[in-house]
Every structure is written in C-alpha cells, then in structure tokens.
Amino acid sequence: MVLITARVETPEGIDLDAHTVPLALITLFEGWPTALVATTLPAAYRVWLGGNDAWASLLSLGAAAAAGSLAHVWARRDGGVRPRHALTLSLVVFVTTFASFALLGPRGLTLVERAWLPLLAISVVGTGVVARLFGDVVERAEAVDAHARFRGIIDEASDAIRIVDPDTLKILDVNRRDCEISGYTRGALIGRDVRHFWPDEPDLRTRREATIAEARDHGFARAFGTPYRRATGELIRVDSTRRIVNHHGRRYEIVIYRESVEREAAETAQREAADLRAVALLASAAAHEINNPLTVVVGSLELLARHLGSDQQERRWLDRANAAAQRIRDIVARMTRITRIERTDARPGLPPMLDLRKSSDVDSPEAP
C-alpha cells in the first residue's frame, strides 16, 4: 500500500510504483495463503483510490501473486528458494506488469515504451536481488533453529558425546553428559586436548593411541574398559565408539562413550547366572546319582542293625555309618537347593571350592 502511493519517478517523468515486488517476494517465500492476505489489502486500497488504470493495477497484483505461488511450489520441490526461482519470478512479474500496461491501450503502450527499462530494473533488482537477501535471512534462521535442535538432542542423550578435530585432537563440542562424567564445564572442555584425559602409564596411553589410529585408518573404532581421567584425577573405565565423518570438506571425529560400570555389572550378572545354571544342573545330576546307591547303603545298614545287640562294638560302628549316611543325605538335599554361587577361601595348594552351606537357601541344623 505504501509503494502504491510512494511512486518512483523516472528520468522520463513517468511515475512507477513497485507494489508487485513485495507481493511477489512474500508469495515466493510464504505461499498462496499469505499471498491471499497480502493481495487483498492493497487491491482494496487501489480500488478505493480509483482511476482509469485501477483495473490494470489489480490485474498486475493478481498476476504477481499467482506467479509467486507457482514459484513457491517450484522452490519447495527443489528444496528451497534458489537464484533461478527468484530470477524467473522477477521476469514473470515484469512481463505481467508489461502486459497490464499494454491493456490500457495506446496510452499504456506509450508508457511501456518509455519506461520498460526502469520497470525491468525494478522487477529484477527488487525481486531477484532482494529474494537472495531474504533467502540468506531464512537460511540463517533455519541454521540457528537446526543448531538449537541439535544442541537440545545431544544434551538429552544418555551417553557422552564429544566432537574432536582428528588432526589436532582438540575438543570442538561436547554435550551435558560429557561434562558430568569428566567433571569439567563445557567451556573448560572446548579447545582442550583429549590426551589430557589419558592415564600417565605408558602402556595405557599406547592403548589409546592404537584406538585413535584405528579410527583414522578405518573410519571407525570401538574400545571397552579404556581408562579415563576425570577432573578430580580419578581414573574410571569407559566404553567408547569413534567415527570419522566429513562435513563440508572438513573431518570430524565423533566420540560416544559411557562408563563401563553398567556393562561390567551386566556381564558379571550373566556370568554368575551361567555359572549358577551349570552348578545347579551338575548338582541335580550328582544328587540323583548319589541317592540311588545311598538308598541301598542305608537299607543294608538297617538290616545289619537288626542282628546286632546294642552293647556290641559292631553296633557302634554301624551307628557311625548310619550317621555318615544321614550326613550324605543332608548334603545331597542341600545340593538341590543351590540358589547362588558362594566360594570358600582356597587352602594352600587347592583351587577355590563351592561353599555349599552359603550357596543354599536353607541350612540344615542337623549337619555338623
């Protein structure tokens, strides 16, 4: 509406307005719904102003909005507004404006003949060049939004994420979890050499160097239980993956790591479960095999006891055999109730043994 009233005077004394330029730009970037709103107000204002050429001005407004809508669809298919979209739109706006003047008859043709060059300059510069500036603003806003989204995503990650320059080994960016594990703030981490977190022992540092060399050679490396020095000087073990990526001609090393405690605890639990299952199967088989001959032994002892008096030496031997058989039966019963693995302290010259009493749920009070 301002451009309709604020006209540009050419050297030939002809007043031109650039009301189609902002309309084309708005439509190019926002599409037809915004174009409908942007066209309605200046069209109503032009009708209110009146004049013999009002209908030509309305035609140019509508043509600019339609051309901008088509250019918007074209740009969306190509992934965004490019110079070819803006330049094509500027030429179409010039042609439609030229046609609207021509429809005014001989007077309009005279005006076009005298002002076609300034009109072309307004269309090309106003639509093409300003569209490029608008595109830069849009791209910058999208880049800021993408960076904020990227920052929000990596900060919420449960693993530590670190971006490193593979050539200088300088830290370029970190997430919140990296700060929590390392004990440093984000500002203190960025720019720091990753070798600062390595242990001092030469053999441990050699392991870290081998992992980095593998990542450089193959683009990917994985390490488990690697020593990592925190801000307090404490050494912890971490599991890490490294990947070299190329972005806009520059290489980055993406390091994702977490403390090894959870993995080691899970592996220990799995090993203990496997050990317990193996021991339980062996104990059940042994109990079954022992019970069969033990039943025969106990039965034979009972038959012998019927033929011996209570004051005979053989009867005392028989009672001791019965007590030993009962002890074997209690041990066999306890073997079937193993629920965990508890080891006894190894005696000199002997391997560690299973502590049957501690490994069972219920201890037999009769057992000595």
275 vs 4, 35, 288, 353, 358, CA distance in Å? Answer: 88, 73, 20, 13, 16
Residue finishing a domain among 227, 243, 259: 259
DSSP one-letter string for 23-46: HHHHHHHH-HHHHHHHHHHHHHHH
The number of beta carbons lying within 10 Å of the beta carbon of residue 211 is 16
pLDDT of residue 119: 65
- Segment 147-166 shows an average pLDDT of 89
Q: Is residue 119 part of a domain?
A: yes
169 secondary structure, DSSP code: -
More confident residue, 26 or 231: 231
270 and 345 share a domain? Answer: yes
Please tell me the distance from the alpha carbon of residue 141 to that of residue 144, in angstroms, as a whole number. Answer: 5
Asked whether residue 366 is domain-assigned, the answer is no
Reading the block at residue 73, the tokens are 């669809």
Count: domains in the chain: 3
| Whole-number pLDDT of residue 69 | 83
Whether 226 and 329 map to the same domain: the answer is no
335/319 same-domain check: yes
Domain-ending residue, one of 259, 284, 300: 259
If asked whether residues 246 and 190 sit together in one domain, one would say yes
Residues 45 and 115 in one domain: yes
Q: What is the pLDDT of residues 49-94, one digit of tens each?
A: 666 666 667 777 778 788 878 888 888 888 777 777 777 877 787 7
Total residues found in the chain within this entry: 368
- For the ranges 124-133, 135-144, 336-345, 357-366, the maximum mean pLDDT occurs at 336-345
Whether 364 has a pLDDT exceeding 50, the answer reads no
Local confidence band at 365 (pLDDT 50, 70, 90 cut-offs): very low
Phi first, then psi: give them for residue 241, nearest 5 degrees: -125, 140
Q: pLDDT tens digits, residue range 315-328?
A: 788 888 888 888 88
Examine the domain organization and report whether 144 and 191 are in the same domain.
no
* Residue 367 within any structural domain of the chain: no
253 and 308 share one domain: no
Examine the domain organization and report whether 168 and 214 are in the same domain. yes
**Any domain includes 237:** yes
In this structure, is residue 18 part of a structural domain?
Answer: yes
The reported pLDDT for the residue numbered 366 is 43
* CATH for 238: 3.30.450.20
Contacts of 152 (CB under 8 A, 6+ apart): none
CA distance linking residue 316 with residue 324, whole number of Å: 13
Mark which of 120, 153, 186 sits at the end of a domain: 153
Q: DSSP string covering 207-247, please?
A: HHHHHHHHHHHHSEEEEEEEEEE-TTS-EEEEEEEEEEEEE
Same domain membership, residue 126 and residue 113: yes
Asked, for residue 89, whether it belongs to a domain, the answer is: yes
Q: Is residue 254 part of a domain?
A: yes
Candidates 324, 327, 315; CA nearest to 366 is: 327
Which pLDDT score is estimated for 6? Answer: 52
User: Do 274 and 336 fall within a single domain?
Assistant: yes
State the pLDDT at residue 13.
Answer: 47
Residues 169, 191: one domain?
A: yes
pTM: 0.54
Question: Token digits for 217?
Answer: 């050679």
Residues 6 and 148 in one domain: yes
**Strands of the sheet with 220-229, listed across from one edge:** 171-174, 160-164, 250-259, 235-247, 220-229
Specify if 131 maps to a domain.
yes
At 15, is the pLDDT very low, low, confident or very high (cuts 50, 70, 90)? very low
pLDDT surpasses 90 at 255: yes
Q: What is the CATH number of the domain that holds 318?
A: 1.10.287
Domain around 299: 264-359
Q: What is the structure's pLDDT at 367?
A: 41
Q: What pLDDT does 109 receive?
A: 60
Confidence at residue 272, expressed as pLDDT on a 0 to 100 scale: 84
Task: Report pLDDT for 101.
Answer: 67
